Chains A and B, each alone.
Chain A
Amino acid sequence: MAVIEVRDLRRTYRSRTGIRRTSVKDVEAVRGINFAVEKGELFGLLGPNGAGKTTTIKILITLLLPTSGTALVLGHDVVRETRAVRRRVGYVFGGDRGLYERLSARDNLRYFSELYGVPAREQSRRIGALIEQVGLAGRERELVEGYSRGMRQRLHIARGLLHDPDVLFLDEPTIGIDPVGARELRSTISQLIEAGKTVLLTTHYMFEADELCDRIAVIASGRIVAEGSPKELKSRVSDGHVLEVEVYGLDDRSVAAVRGVDGIRSVSVEARDQAQILAVRAASGAEVTQAVLRCLDGATVGRVATREPTLEDAYVELVGEGRS
């Protein structure tokens, strides 16, 4: 039996604007998604902002009701058996909010221990072990209001593990953390999997998903557009190559012209310092370099290179298809 089972899950938000002339707009955040996560698996949900990742997690941790469809966590329905689900799942989100600023780290953990029903005789040992584990030992009696973003995120992780949950939902846990902290956090996530936990992770960072996830579902505009292991997803674009061009003064007209070149599957632009990096994913065997450079007439071209596709390229292509 799958630990997480999602069937035809949909969630629509209704938003109202205006005071006198109210207009109502329905936004479909999740549009009939299906996936299953097995015990001990680290499953990644990848997608751009507003794709429906957080909505899906909130439904699975019982904070949101689905508009239709079903979701089971450890065999419990997330709508009807909320307490059974809440007892066995942990939830950690990224960012520096979600903590009691005027309490110490220890008291934050103590409060949630009470809410999760961790027995008094176990609380002290457990909190001490988690504080040690997340590297806050020595700082645990300081008020959280003085904590750095990384320290807060580590405290979030400790809070999510307090009741030793079977399933952990991590919603962009490394966002805003420095590279060293993020690497340590990834190491902790790997340890959780080794300890037999099931983890559902959302992230924007492709290398993170590539490094950690057993399987990934790419979600765009509320739909799952691809699902598979990082290797399988990469193989979808591995028959082609990526042309990367460093450009100064790239305009929208040039990008549109590049998109029109034969043999090009997708195009993305990333700002890097003063330059823009134009990444052109081309089909296998397509010679597009000269045609692309001709489209950049008027802009200053720097370094030009070709490389093998990465998971990020697969993601960009899949998300692009999902949106169109």
Chain B
Amino acid sequence: MQPIPLWKLPFVARKNVFRQMDPDDVFNLSMTSMKSKLIIMKLHKLPPANFSWHIGRHQGNFWNGTCVVSIVEDEMNLYICFVDPNINGIKVFVEDLREGKSFVEKYLTSILFDPNGKQVVPQIVNRIYNTKAFYQSQKKRRDNKTMWRLLSRKNKAGFKKIMEKNRVAQTKQMQDGLTKYRRPSETSQFWITAEGWNLREGLQTTGFVQNIFFKLCKKSG
């Protein structure tokens, strides 16, 4: 096949190509060179995804990274929230690692909610994130975070107010859009994929010690 020089296409066309590509392909394209990555970061900014989880009595939410939860109970609640209003299909895949079988058919539960209806939640807007990152959720450095002790009393009060607002909104979201899932076994793996989008999360248990190793790995970034 004759190659087509992508970088020599006009700017509008190039942007158009990136926008029409599958996110997985965009990810692969960004891996070809540093220049590609920088260009794609500029042209194909993917919206951040926020994944909230609730496993037994442990709960939390974060943007990107790895988290270990030591105690797991049988019931698991999963919740995903996207900034992008265009996403409306989110599926939860459950896989048993021990059996090597997929429980997609048996245990597949779709998180049946329309993220379009969740726009009122201010949780994402108020977060500090690196705007230069491929994923907006990726922080450049840990110390970009404002240190709590350096804030003035007034700012602290403001933050507390926002956090409280978020907490209330999140609770409501959890009640509305939460999917409750009962683990089929201790060594189950949970895959959460947003249809045609940039998120692929793996959630797996390590069996004997009943630890859940929760890894949020962005397939496309």
Do A and B come together as binding partners?
no
